[in-house]
Structure 1
Amino acid sequence: MAIKTRSYSVDGKRVMTIDEFKRWLKKFDEDKDGKIRRDELADAIRVSGGWFASRKSKCGIRSVDANGNGFVDDN
């Protein structure tokens, strides 16, 4: 029996669990403070092949920053 190490959706894109995504995103925490800033999120977007990383990171922070401190909230 083969063990699946990666999951893919019907369109062939990699599917991550929330925990996998959090571990991947923590790789971009440059100052190791446990928080993801806008420029760190932009780096993650660029590495994954995304375009308009600055604009997307600004919108991303705005949509996930529940307390208004300028960082990605863990929840």
Structure 2
Amino acid sequence: MAIKSRNISADGKREMTINEFKRWLKKFDADKDGKISRKELAEAVHVSGGWFAKLKAKHKIRNVDSNGNGYVDEI
């Protein structure tokens, strides 16, 4: 009988709450300005095992940058 953690989904991927994700993402705020830049987001994607980190970060920043300043708006 397998024991399932409440943080593991049926497909075997780890799930995070929004607050857990925000705490994890803050670790990549290299200049400690309270914002996540495209470069910092690319590092987060790369460290988590993602492929094409720079390209993914570029596209994701567009999705979460509502004021066009080049940063994740809310972390």
Q: TM-score, normalising length from structure 1?
A: 0.90
**Which residue of 1 is the match for residue 28 of structure 2?**
28
Q: 1:40 to 1:11 in 2, by over 3 A?
A: same
* Runs (4+) off by over 6 Å: none
Matched-pair contact (CA < 8 Å) for 1:6–1:14: no
Q: Shift of residue 6 of structure 1? A: 5.4
Structure 2 distance, partners of 1:55, 1:65, is 16
Alpha-carbon distance between aligned partners in 2 of 1:69 and 1:58, rounded to the nearest angstrom: 13
Give the gaps of 5 or more residues in structure 1. Answer: none
Number of residue pairs matched by the alignment = 72
2-structure distance, mates of 1:22, 1:51: 21
- Alpha-carbon RMSD across the aligned residues, in angstroms, is 1.7
SS in 1 for 2:72: coil
Q: Which has the higher contact order (CA 8 A, sep 6+)?
A: 2
SS in 2 for 1:43: helix
1:7 aligns with: 7
**Aligned residue number for residue 69 of structure 1:** 69
Match of 1:57 in 2: 57
Question: Which residue identity is paired with 1:68?
Answer: G
Answering whether residue 60 of structure 2 is matched by residue 44 of structure 1, we say no
Amino acid at match of 2:8: Y
Gaps of 5+ in 2: none
